Structure 1
Amino acid sequence: MQVRVVGEPSVKGMLEAAVTDDGSSNAVVTGYRWLISETIDGSYVELPGILTKTIVLLASYSGGYLKVQVYSGTAGAVESEPVGPVRAVNGNPRTDWLCAAQYGISHHFIANYLNRVAASPEEQWKQHEDWNDVINSFDVNAYAEQVAGSGAGFVLLTLGQNCGRFLAPNAVYEEIAGVRPGERCATRDLPMEIAHALDTYGIKLMLYVPANPPHSAHMVDGDYAITRAFGFSEGTDSAPTQETMRLWQSVIKEWSDRYGELLAGWWFDGVFPAMAGSYDNMQLPYNWSSIANVAKSGNAHRIMCLNSGIGGIAINSPYEDFTAGETNEIGGLPGNGRWVDEANGIQYFTFTFLGENDPKWAGWGNKGLSRPTSELADWVKGVTDRKGVVCLDAKVNRFGKIDPDQLEQLREIKLRVR
């Protein structure tokens, strides 16, 4: 067995252990260990908690040399030659496209939101329909045309959230949950189709999903059977166990690998302060590094963030490429230009809603408007003039039609910003 390290040795880049076997040893890889040294021929020490085939390079590795040990049951440990030094970069070139996009739109297109926010009975999920009937009614080409007209430079689309239904197939999820294809994951790969349709307009797709399994996913209403299959808490978020993280990160990786270069980024929800400790422990195999590696699997240039809750601009991990920026308010502006943390390459990104304010749900995914267009447009321009990025949550119905009032508001923003 021979091992070498491939990839780009620069901060926020990604390296991979490439293993070749001439067939004589029949080696089966059982593990990885990454090591770092200040000099190419110096003493190498293990980077704790990084037990994956790939490694995301942090700013703290700048100037260092890395190598990997690959373990197998037959060949033992085989060590690569070192690579490096890890090159420092200005900020984070992987977010250049996001900064250039200036603003984009998101959708809380979620199974348990549909009927609550429907503008007419036609938009509702009917009792005689299954989940696939809803997803199959979405007109991808008409949707992409609207997005292009809105001036949005990217779309942030919910794959799913806590009820356990998703917009795309995922064989790993179905195996763990014990469900058949189409029962909880749509048989149509709607994000894939949307990514292709948006690509014709030069618009990028990012995906939203919780960092943890769905906490209210049932086989039969109230049984939490799918939530239990992942070993997660019923009805509420909590600190995930290592096994829960292993299972859910394998689900994320399936999507990451499938979408490849068509997927530009991940926005991970639900890394609340009470749960962050589960990711902080770098003595365990599932942590900030492991979720970053599955997020970038299939596309080393993909970007990601981790949301710790409503409250504006916060940094949760040096592995982030941009801030989650969730807020129910507008008015905040970048205080230091593009970068919230230039050393760690974290782009200023803020995320709010267009929809009418609801006492329980705020305006996320809702129809109507929550703010005057002039006030909203002034704010978006203020953020983007300072090299920040704005994401505006807009309602889209099952047919792929964006709320008409919100679409008109977006067009007005386009006139101010573009």
Structure 2
Amino acid sequence: MRNLIISTLIATCASQATGQINHNPATDWMAKAKLGAFMHFLPGTQNFANIDAFDVDALINQLVDANADYFGFTLGQNNGYYNAPNPVFDELTGYKPAERCSKRDLPMEIAKACKKHGIKFILYLPCQPANRDAHAEEAIGFPATPPNSDRHFTMPGAQNWAKVIEYWAKHYGDLVDGWWFDGGYEWIGFRDKHAQLYSQAVKSGNPNAVATFNPGVKLVRATQFEDYTAGEINDPFTVRVEGRWTDGSQNHILTFMGSMWGRPDCRFKDEQWIPWLKATTAAGCPVTIDMGIYASPQSAAPMGTFMPEQIKQFKRLRKALD
């Protein structure tokens, strides 16, 4: 028995040393959280100026009124434009300042406002440069092809992209509580070694920042270097969460309120959402809900605010979880 105990301790320590067992206490706030809001704000070639028009105060007022526990925001996605400055990205790609990375530091403004109101802040970023920007992909070290699609991972590309991430992580420091990396797909060669690079980059700015790497539409522990599950789920009511952890990763689900990501409608009624949300959050698994936003200068509503009917439903759902 004594030898068995010693062997178990050695195995456990070895697993923790290699990151195989996380149970990261930095995720404790997630287990206590109930409902987070998420938006896709993705200006591009024709509307890059929308970043300057974004109304941070109006957004924060919505989040506070709805009692959102945390908020997720996109740094960028596929179109090659980013909602924040990054001189490392500019240097690697040869782009001029404010040509692809905005002059306005929108995440900094949002993060500070969230901090003031006790709202946790998560940043979204793909695991590689924008797939519609072949120049950036190639300049950073990923293949230039296939066009408009995720490239196969290379170590030089991941190392350079980690430098871009590290700049943002150190720039925002403890204002950012978490990172949600998209496109960590096995079929394009994303592996633990890439996740480890990105995790180290994130934690260089805030050791308590938590990170996840999306492997696709499912609730799984995708890599030993994630702290929580990406949990992208299209049909939330088909998922039953049994507890806080999945193989050492804090459970978390990301889904959408509308008929698809960013859509302005409400696909389910309150009475459909509430029983599932209660069961899921009671298990220690927070739920992040993506909602549509006003992203047109012609709109009478403030730029970057959530659709009224959706944020109203979010508020009702959050209240039902108290």
- Measured against the shorter chain, the TM-score band is 0.7 to 0.9
Residue in structure 1 matched with residue 95 of structure 2 by the alignment: 179
Q: Deviations over 1:135-191 (max 9, x none)?
A: 111111121110111221111111101111011000011112211111111101000
Structure 2 unmatched ranges of 5 or more? 1-8, 296-302
Residue in structure 2 matched with residue 351 of structure 1 by the alignment: 254
Structure 2: distance between partners of 1:334 and 1:253: 35
Amino acid across the alignment from 1:415: K
What secondary structure sits across from 1:207 in the alignment? Answer: strand
Structure 2: distance between partners of 1:59 and 1:350: 29
**CA positional deviation for 1:384:** 0.7
Structure 2: distance between partners of 1:105 and 1:59: 37
Residue in structure 2 matched with residue 337 of structure 1 by the alignment: 243
Return structure 1 stretches of 4+ with deviation > 6 angstroms.
Answer: none
Residue in structure 2 matched with residue 322 of structure 1 by the alignment: 228
**CA positional deviation for 1:254:** 0.7
Residue identity over aligned pairs, in percent, reads 33
Residue in structure 1 matched with residue 214 of structure 2 by the alignment: 307
In the alignment, is residue 402 of structure 1 matched against residue 306 of structure 2? yes
Structure 2: distance between partners of 1:61 and 1:225: 40
When normalised by structure 2's length, the TM-score is: 0.87
**CA positional deviation for 1:235:** 1.6
**CA positional deviation for 1:332:** 3.9
Q: Deviations over 1:380-410 (max 9, x none)?
A: 1221122111000012224132111101110
**CA positional deviation for 1:103:** 1.4
Give matches, 1:251-262, under 5 Å: 251-262=164-175
Q: Deviations over 1:296-355 (max 9, x none)?
A: 111111101110111x201111111110000111214544311112xx3x1111110012
Structure 1: distance between partners of 2:139 and 2:84: 20
Q: Is residue 41–residue 304 contact of structure 2 (8 Å, CA) maintained in 1?
A: no
Q: Is residue 337–residue 388 contact of structure 1 (8 Å, CA) maintained in 2?
A: yes
In the alignment, is residue 214 of structure 1 matched against residue 111 of structure 2? no
**CA positional deviation for 1:261:** 0.4
Structure 2: distance between partners of 1:388 and 1:59: 26
Structure 2: distance between partners of 1:297 and 1:408: 37
Q: Is residue 205–residue 262 contact of structure 1 (8 Å, CA) maintained in 2?
A: yes
Structure 2: distance between partners of 1:94 and 1:413: 26
Structure 2: distance between partners of 1:216 and 1:411: 36
Residue in structure 2 matched with residue 116 of structure 1 by the alignment: none
In the alignment, is residue 147 of structure 1 matched against residue 63 of structure 2? yes
Q: Number of matched residues?
A: 303
Structure 1: distance between partners of 2:262 and 2:13: 36
Q: Is residue 377–residue 412 contact of structure 1 (8 Å, CA) maintained in 2?
A: no
Residue in structure 2 matched with residue 6 of structure 1 by the alignment: none
Q: Deviations over 1:78-115 (max 9, x none)?
A: xxxxxxxx9x9993311111111211011111125xxx
In the alignment, is residue 102 of structure 1 matched against residue 39 of structure 2? no
What secondary structure sits across from 1:375 in the alignment? Answer: helix
Greater relative contact order, per chain length (Cα 8 Å cut-off, separation 6+): 2
In the alignment, is residue 293 of structure 1 matched against residue 247 of structure 2? no
**CA positional deviation for 1:226:** 2.5
Q: Deviations over 1:201-223 (max 9, x none)?
A: 10011001011111112xxxxxx
Give matches, 1:15-54, under 5 Å: none
Q: Deviations over 1:213-251 (max 9, x none)?
A: 11112xxxxxx3233322333321132111111111111
Structure 2: distance between partners of 1:169 and 1:247: 17
- Change in Cα spacing, 1:181 to 1:270, as seen in structure 2 (3 Å) is same
Structure 2: distance between partners of 1:142 and 1:297: 32
Amino acid across the alignment from 2:108: M
Structure 1 unmatched ranges of 5 or more? 1-37, 40-57, 67-85, 113-124, 218-223, 281-285, 358-362
Amino acid across the alignment from 1:372: K
Q: Is residue 241–residue 280 contact of structure 2 (8 Å, CA) maintained in 1?
A: no
- Change in Cα spacing, 1:241 to 1:289, as seen in structure 2 (3 Å) is same
Structure 2: distance between partners of 1:190 and 1:163: 18
Structure 1: distance between partners of 2:257 and 2:72: 14
Q: Is residue 141–residue 158 contact of structure 2 (8 Å, CA) maintained in 1?
A: no
Residue in structure 2 matched with residue 202 of structure 1 by the alignment: 118
When normalised by structure 1's length, the TM-score is: 0.68
In the alignment, is residue 235 of structure 1 matched against residue 141 of structure 2? no
Q: Is residue 334–residue 388 contact of structure 1 (8 Å, CA) maintained in 2?
A: no
Q: Is residue 334–residue 386 contact of structure 1 (8 Å, CA) maintained in 2?
A: no
More helix by share: 2
Amino acid across the alignment from 2:256: F
What secondary structure sits across from 1:296 in the alignment? Answer: helix
Instruction: Supply the RMSD in Å over aligned alpha carbons.
Output: 2.4
Q: 2:24 aligns with which of 92, 98, 101?
A: 92
Structure 2: distance between partners of 1:171 and 1:371: 43
Residue in structure 1 matched with residue 276 of structure 2 by the alignment: 379
Q: 2:263 aligns with which of 361, 366, 369?
A: 366
Structure 1: distance between partners of 2:195 and 2:305: 37
